[in-house]
Amino acid sequence: MITLLLKEIKEFFSSITGYLVVVIYLLINSMFMWIFKGSLNVFDMGMANIDTLFIISPWVFLFLVPAITMNMFAGEYKSGTMELLLTRPLTDFQIVFAKYLAAVCLVLIALIPTLFYLISINTLADPVGNVDFGAIAGSYIGLFFLAAGYSAIGIFASSLFKNSIISFLLSVLLCFIFFLGFDYLGILVSSGKVANFIISLGINDHYGSISRGVIDSRDVVYFLSVISIFIFAAKLRLESRKW
């Protein structure tokens, strides 16, 4: 399983596309944080924080994560290597989980350079070091869970089609629905407890909670549930060949 995980990571960076995806993510965040004028610009805010990263990243991840996952199964189908992969001494779950872990690792690789933002903010703070590291750590944890949820959705979308573009578009759509779709539905359908329940089915509600630095077990269970559902769905898709 580890061999398959490493293979996926190596293949992603075997072409310029892999590096380009990571660079674009970092470039977009950097532009909003340091260059574009407005409320998201660190200098215009006048505060030593990197909230902009956690505001922008969920939207960038809507495209970044599907770009990472779209070929993981679709590429195997298209190249005809899926049959070879299925002959290896791996269960369907191990295949799906290895590809899922590879996607999560790739997102983490994209996140690692953002620590330079934190170093910069720490240096710019007055006095130096006057930064709420606890809140930032909570926001990073929230961003990790969000990326992990998106990755599971992307793996499922990739398992459905041989066409990578279709997998990408479906993944973007599903990620958007889970990120904001339930918020809009809750506002339109009702108010009060029913609306709150519908909104709680979406990722944004739980991501926002963790990003405030509050690690609630209900939020963790929610993300683990979303991840499990889509990984299980991708596993069922692989097993459907036996039906």
26 or 124: which leads in pLDDT: 26
Rounded distance between C-alpha atoms, residue 93 and residue 232, angstroms: 8
192 or 207: which leads in pLDDT: 207
* Average pLDDT of span 19-36: 86
13 or 177: which leads in pLDDT: 177
What pLDDT is stored for residue 22 in this prediction? 86
CA dihedral 193, 199, 201, 203 (to 10 degrees): -150
Rounded distance between C-alpha atoms, residue 124 and residue 54, angstroms: 19
* Average pLDDT of span 4-9: 82
What pLDDT is stored for residue 242 in this prediction? 61
The two structure tokens encoding residue 68: 């990472």
Break the chain into its structural domains and give their ranges. Answer: 2-242
